[in-house]
Structure 1
């Protein structure tokens, strides 16, 4: 163990001793009540851990991911919210995009731009885009490598949105290189 881990364990031990000491003083006449409370909090903690474990197991059912079929097509299942989400590798970093056939360009949220090493505050926002929320300022960037399964694009243009966004959008400048097909609850991309 390194020094950081030891200091964290020591800090947690101090907190545990302080809480244990407080419980002993507070409940010295009512130890049965104290044990029931400890058991209740223990069960709450176990339920939270079980919930987290269950969430990691079912997350792929709630927000399914794309797969490459045997024919080389990308099959993207519809998510519970009715949208299609694709995970692209941008310079080796996975970025989740919502497929938006109403958008012209690939648009990065400020958070995704930061994850890719682009500092949004240092960009020159000279472009404008009309959105459902009004006109927003945009800055053009170039992504050295964008990959979706077996498909690769080098020096792909994208725009960083100056407004807050929940996630990044995959517009028609990227989707337009594929033949799009909606087949039941999945979107199929072929080249």
Structure 2
């Protein structure tokens, strides 16, 4: 255990001793009540942990995923009004927000790193105009992109230096599809 970890453990121990001392003084005549309160808070904590653990299961309802139906990909509209697709790039699943206002396929720095692209090695010589202003971009080539049965090799994409919550799927990629909007679903066919 290094010195930093030891200091943190000591700090937490001091806090626990102080809290335990306060509980003993405050509830010295009512230990049953103190135990009930501790049990209630413990159950609340366990409930929050269980809710967090179930988040991956219920997340599908909040951000639905695409389904392959015959030769088409159907994408349900998410609660926020956007469409989200997951592309398989070099054997890694990358979520994208469909953005028909974007001209290219734009990777966030985090997604680029997850694909093995070293941001330090990129040359950010391009520029893109976004809702947040002008950002610098670096062009990259993605060896393999798959969306269900559809496959592209050597696809040009851009990595942005700008702050992005996720990656954007623009018209460079979407132009290869016939896009149709049926109710709250987007259908892509080639």
Question: TM class by shorter-chain length?
Answer: 0.7 to 0.9
**What SS does the corresponding residue of 1:27 show, helix, strand or coil?**
helix
Show the counterpart of 1:75: 74
- Write the deviation string for residues 47-90 of structure 1: whole angstroms up to 9, x where unpaired: 21332244333211110000100x22000000000000000011
Structure 1 residue 161: Cα displacement = 0.5
**Over residues 102-126 of structure 1, what are the superposed CA-to-partner deviations in whole Å (9 max), with x where a residue is unaligned?**
1110000011111111122321011
CA distance 1:27–1:152, change in 2 (3 Å): same
Q: Distance in 1 between matches of 2:22 and 2:170?
A: 63
Corresponding residue number in structure 2 for 1:142: 141
Change (3 A) 1:142 1:43: same
Distance in 2, matches of 1:115 and 1:33, equals: 51
Q: Paired residue for 2:3?
A: none
Q: Which moved more, 1:149-158 or 1:19-28?
A: 19-28
Equivalent in the alignment of 1:59: 59
Distance 1:85 1:101 in 2: 12
State whether residues 76 and 188 of structure 1, in contact with CA within 8 Å, keep that contact through their aligned partners in structure 2: yes
Counterpart position of 1:27: 24
Q: 1:27 to 1:138 in 2, by over 3 A?
A: same
> Structure 2: any 5+ residue segments left out of the alignment?
1-8
How do 1:36-185 and structure 2 match up within 5 A? Answer: 36-69=36-69, 71-185=70-184
Counterpart Cα distance in 2 of 1:25 and 1:179: 68
1:145/1:152 contact within 8 Å kept: yes
The two structures have a TM-score, normalised by structure 1, of 0.83
Q: 1:84-103: CA deviations, max 9, x gaps?
A: 00000110111000111111
**1:148 offset after TM fit, Å?**
0.5
Post-superposition, which runs of at least 4 consecutive aligned residues in structure 1 deviate over 3 A? 18-26
Give the length in aligned residue pairs.
176
Native 8 Å contact 1:145 1:153 kept in 2: yes
Conservation of the 8 A alpha-carbon contact between 1:146 and 1:153: yes
Change (3 A) 1:21 1:32: farther
SS in 1 for 2:141: strand
Deviation at 1:23, TM superposition (A): 3.4
Q: Which runs of 5+ in 1 are unaligned?
A: 1-11
- Deviation readout 1:128-184 (Å, 9 max, x if unpaired): 111122211110001111110111111111000111111100011100000000111
- The CA RMSD measured in Å over matched residues stands at 2.3
